[in-house]
Chains A and B, each alone.
Chain A
Amino acid sequence: MELQRFAYDNRLSRMFLNATMFWGFVGMLVGLTIALELVFPLMSSGIPWLSFGRLRPLHTNAVVFAFVGNGMFTGIYYSTPRLLKTPMYSQTLGKIHFWGWQLIIAAAVFTLPLGFTVGKEYAELEWPIDIAIAIVWIIFGINLIMTMVKRRVKHIYVAIWFYIATFVTVAVLHIVNSINIPVSLFKSYPVYAGIQDALVQWWYGHNAVAFFLTTPYLGLMYYFVPKAANRPIYSYKLSIIHFWALIFLYIWAGPHHLLYSALPDWAQALGVAFSIMLIGPSWGGMLNGLLTLRGAWDKVRESPVLKMFVVGITAYGMATFEGPLLSLKSVNAISHFTDWTIAHVHIGALGWNGMITFGMLYWLLPRLFNTRLYSKKLANTHFWLATSGMLFFAIPLYFAAFTQSLMWKEFTEAGYLRYPNFIETVVQILPMYYLRALGGALYLTGVILLIYNLVMTARSGSFVRFEEDEAPALRTGKISGEKGHRIIESKPVLFTILALIAISIGGLVEFVPMFMVKSNVPTIAAVQPYTPLELHGRDIYVREGCYLCHSQMVRPFRSEVERYGDYSKAGEVVYDHPFQFGSKRTGPDLARAGVQSGPMYKPASWHYNHFLSPQKMVAQSIMPPYPWLIKNDLDISTTNRKIKAMQYLGVPYPEGFADKANAHLQQQAYEIAQNLRDNGIQIEDTKEVIALIAYIHRLGRDIHGGEKVHFSER
């Protein structure tokens, strides 16, 4: 058969590679900053956009979507054309993808520290950015699928399957979880409420781990590990089996993030069962990767690239063993809300994603610049810094998690909590937080070495823009000459799939709000909507990222009921758009902070002083001060729109209440401010802190016989 000549264009890989280095540095620098803020709480020195609650979403978004995202695209744009023996379908679409993605990240860098957030972990970005993500992602997918259609090899190598699964599933996850009702350009409310929102969020959150951090990187592993070791994958058959098993199992495991919550038991059990089953395909991938190096361990000793791959794949195996373990209810009872979660995700992020990315970059960049790596010694140093950084990060946190969790649960012989003061359990683990910051610093130092090494490597060579290759046309023959829509027409199956995707996106956006709104019917008669002031307070709570350190989900354990109050129920949160269960207790749970007779209640004056200086109220507190809440006036120009959006979402405010909402708000603010003034605090009614206090004092109140809210009379 006649050979066709063509050339691979390396520019997209190079662009994404540069972005990976840049955002990797930024994301990890922010990570180190917030790790230090936990041990030096006054570090943010009253600057809102430097506070932990605002920088933490930036850290997670930058590392997941910017560092790992760009890393994945680097590898995909390099390996896909070579595996399919054709250039990428469209260089233009690739460029739109690149610049679109960088703009989205830049938007995140500005909006998240400014407090524009939806308040759902890893899905914090506000609705205009969400739309941009969906568009850019679909552009990426079209380019990927069309390259596959144009391919010259009949067989689709397993890495490509992983890329395709990534595209399809992330598109669905992102769209379903991001259906929000806008209030203004940078504020929106999710259509789902309470436990429903929690379920959708963790279905998304878990599968973001599966299909953004796992499947694309397994694809990269299946390409770059054999290439770097110059030997075929251990078992191609296993790679196919574990691919299909992995994608069929992963999507059902999400509920394991909501164990012991108000989610129905059968849903929790479903999540646990699928999580346990996931060990199979996950370890299939790990073993396949590691066994590829059998008989080649002498190469591993010599090559920093292979060393990084080995540690990366091992970390993947450890994290995917740990995941199912954490999904067991008895283990989860100990691990949930502790630093174990943080350690677990960092084994995944620093170990698996980080190491695979670094190995890939060290292998790839010299090839893109047709030269040798500037310094193998530096790369080896980076390897040790990264490995020890990861261990210094994770091991102290495991220790901290066990220590703190057991302290939370310990009773005296007389039946009282041994450590009723939450702060005791925090002080106990602070040394571990220092070590974690040290681990982060080591890891970041390694990344700086990587950047220096790669820049010097690039300087010593010259960029190879095109690489020529040749291959016979695909046997069907007719494809290569056709363009654009003709190809789709000749492929009825593909056309149907694309049409289905388009229709289901449109259908979802139309149908979900209607469907979900009806379902937010209260199941506890005493539970009422938030007052306008409380609603504003709640938005401030979300804006400041309070949910990143304070949960609002009391689990049905004696130790928790004793410490916080009655366990949480699904019917309490039916007006919560978004839910605020949280996933980490750096500070105590707040679900019962408004129950006057409960152990968590604090008067308004305490809260005022606490926001001004937490250390004044709790000497060893690691919470940062929030002076701007006391300085800033509450923006009440949006009240009307917020109430209307809530009404649209099915929250039963009386007809026409939106117009009277500000009067109601001012009355309530006056009462709280008056209470503060009676306690000798000079404050005007209009400050933000008043709204936040109002919200905190509402938490848990309705089901504990709190005073009924009157929406009509004021």
Chain B
Amino acid sequence: MEAIFFLIIIGVVVAGGFLAAFIWAVRSGQYEDDYSPSVRILFDQKKPKKKKDEANSIQDNDTIDKKKEH
């Protein structure tokens, strides 16, 4: 069953890589703020022209809501 040990080694290496990424993420402060990133993604889209934005907003509820907030 050499393959299984081989796969375990690869699995551990991959998991180790993810562990390193996790430690990096925590240390570099990625998770210090666990609320605002979720809100920020909603505001990052700039529509090129105001006029077209109007047309767009009728399309569905989400853009109507956005207008209310503005």
Contact = CB atoms under 8 A, between A and B. Distances in A.
A200 interface: yes
B48 A467 contact: yes
B39 to A, nearest CB: 5
Contacts of A132: none
B51 to A, nearest CB: 10
Interface size class of A (residues with CB under 8 A): 35 or more
B46 A469 contact: yes
B47 to A, nearest CB: 8
A708 interface: no
A11 to B, nearest CB: 16
A464 B45 CA distance: 13
B22 A244 contact: yes
A233 B38 contact: yes
A156 B10 contact: no
Given A267-B1, A516-B2, A157 B42 contact: no
A233 B48 CA distance: 26
Interface string A289-307: 0000000000100110100
Interface string A132-154: 00000000000000000000011
Nearest to A199: B3
A240 B38 contact: no
Contacts of A515: 2, 6
Contact of B60 (A236, A240, A303): A303
Given A240-B34, A302-B60, A247 B18 contact: yes
Contact of B38 (A164, A236, A254, A504): A236
B61 A299 contact: yes
Contacts, number: 132
B48 to A, nearest CB: 6
A203 B3 CA distance: 11
Contact of B34 (A196, A237, A367): A237
Contacts of B4: 196, 199, 264, 267
A366 interface: yes
Contact of B55 (A240, A371, A469): A371
Contacts of B21: 164
Contacts of B22: 244
Nearest to A157: B37
A124 B58 CA distance: 47
A279 interface: no
A372 B58 contact: yes
Given A230-B62, A251-B15, A512-B6, A82 B45 contact: yes
Given A156-B30, A196-B2, A227-B62, A172 B10 contact: yes
Nearest to A373: B59
B interface secondary structure, majority: helix
Contacts of B42: 226-227, 230-232
Given A196-B1, A226-B42, A155 B37 contact: yes
A199 B35 CA distance: 42
A244 B56 contact: no
A236 B3 contact: no
Interface string A191-213: 01001110110010000000000
Contacts of B52: 370
A709 B28 CA distance: 65
Given A196-B1, A196-B3, A264-B1, A244 B18 contact: yes
A369 to B, nearest CB: 10
19 contacts: A154-B29, A156-B30, A195-B1, A196-B3, A203-B7, A226-B42, A230-B61, A230-B63, A232-B41, A237-B34, A240-B31, A264-B4, A267-B4, A370-B55, A371-B56, A372-B55, A372-B58, A373-B59, A470-B46
Interface of A: 82-83, 85, 153-158, 164-165, 168-169, 172, 176, 192, 195-197, 199-200, 203, 223, 226-233, 236-237, 239-240, 244, 247-248, 251-252, 254, 264, 267, 299, 302-303, 305, 366-367, 370-373, 464, 467-470, 493, 497, 500, 504, 512, 515-516, 519
